[in-house]
Amino acid sequence: GINEQTFIAVKPDGVQRGLIGPIISRFENRGFKLVAIKMVVASKEHLEKHYSDLSDKPFFGGLVSYMASGAICAMVWEGRDVVKTGRAILGATKPSESSPGTIRGDYCIDVGRNVCHGSDAVESAQKEIALWFDKSEITSWKSAQQSWIYE
């Protein structure tokens, strides 16, 4: 439905490189609705939970340190198929495989500095939103554009 939600984050490199605005714009311009946003410096414990599926990967320690190294812009975006479409807007995990026109395909080079995060499935989106946001931080609002975006 049009109430599907995903967790999108601008990682510390994206924040430092001034990419919060461009990343928000891509989701906004597509027609998605921003329902939560905050700046967070996350603890390693928090990031280990966020990336728990990757705990046995050789890059896990570096990934957690990088994500803990600065401020993150954490967001929840809402709209039809926003999880899948959000992944498409981000581009492939490895920037060398990300198409031009995607965020990663336009703004980064190394996989370990790929500027943004997006949930990979509806179920993981729900888990990630609950990990990063309190329910009270998620805003319910109707966009005046809704009937011009959805038929």
Q: Which is nearer to ligand DAT, 21 or 112 (CB)?
A: 112
Binding partner of residue 3 among ligand DAT, Mg ion, none, CB cut-off 5 to 8 Å per kind = none
Burial 49-68 (b: 16+ CB within 10 A, else e): ebbeeeeeeeebeebbebbb
32 annotated as belonging to a binding site for a ligand: no
Minimum gap (Å) between residue 2 Cβ and ligand DAT: 24
Active site residue 117: yes
Distance of alpha carbon 60 from alpha carbon 47, whole angstroms: 10
Residue showing tokens 């995060």:
117
Q: Which is nearer to ligand DAT, 59 or 150 (CB)?
A: 59
Q: Are 86 and 31 in contact (CB under 8 A)?
A: no
Q: Identify what 59 binds: Mg ion, ligand DAT, none; CB under 5 to 8 Å per kind.
A: ligand DAT
Which residue in the block uniquely carries the two structure tokens 């990682």? Answer: 11
Residue 95 CB neighbours (<10 A): 21
Nearest distance from C-beta of residue 86 to ligand DAT, angstroms: 11
80-90 residues labelled b (16+ CB within 10 A) or e (exposed): eebbbbbbebb
CB of 11 to ligand DAT, least distance (A): 8
If the CB atoms of residues 56 and 151 are measured against ligand DAT, the closer one turns out to be 56
Query: How many helices (H) does the chain have, and how many strands (E)?
Result: 8, 4
Contact residues toward ligand DAT (CB under 6 A) are 54, 59, 63, 93, 111-112, 114, 117, 120
Question: Residues 92 to 151: which contact Mg ion by CB under 5 A?
Answer: 120
Which residues are part of the catalytic machinery? 117
| Residues of the shown chain interacting with Mg ion in the complex, contacts defined by CB under 5 A | 120
